Amino acid sequence: MKTIDELLAEGVEGKRVFVRADLNVPLADGTITDDGRIRAVLPTVTKLADAGAKVIVASHLGRPKGAPDPQFSLLPAAERLGELLGKPVAFAQDTVGPAAHDAVDGLEAGQVAVIENLRFNAGETSKDDTERGEFADQLAALADVYVGDGFGAVHRKHASVFDLPARLPHYAGFLIATEVGVLKKLTEDVKRPYVVALGGAKVSDKLAVIDQLLGKADRLLIGGGMAYTFLKAQGHEVGISLLQEDQVPKVKEYIKRAEESGVELVLPVDVLVSTEFPDLKTKAPANPTTVAADAIPADQEGLDIGPETRKLYASKLADAGTVFWNGPMGVFEHPDYAEGTKAIAQALLDSPAFTVVGGGDSAAAVRTLGFDENAFGHISTGGGASLEYLEGKTLPGLAALEN
Q: Which residues participate in the annotated binding site for substrate?
A: 22-24, 37, 60-63, 119, 156
Q: Which residues are tagged catalytic? A: 37, 202, 360, 384
pLDDT score recorded for residue 177: 95
Q: Which residues participate in the annotated binding site?
A: 22-24, 37, 60-63, 119, 156, 206, 302, 333, 359-362
Q: Which residues participate in the annotated binding site for ATP?
A: 206, 302, 333, 359-362
Cα 260 from Cα 146, distance rounded (Å): 47
pLDDT score recorded for residue 358: 85
pTM, two decimals, is: 0.87
Query: Residues 83, 42: contact at Cβ < 8 Å?
Result: no
Query: Residues 41, 57: contact at Cβ < 8 Å?
Result: yes
Cα 290 from Cα 269, distance rounded (Å): 11
Encode 146-179: b = buried (16+ Cβ within 10 Å), e = exposed: bbbbbbbbbbbbbbbbbbbbeebebbbbbbbbbb
pLDDT score recorded for residue 189: 79
All residue ranges of the chain with pLDDT < 50 are: none
pLDDT score recorded for residue 79: 97
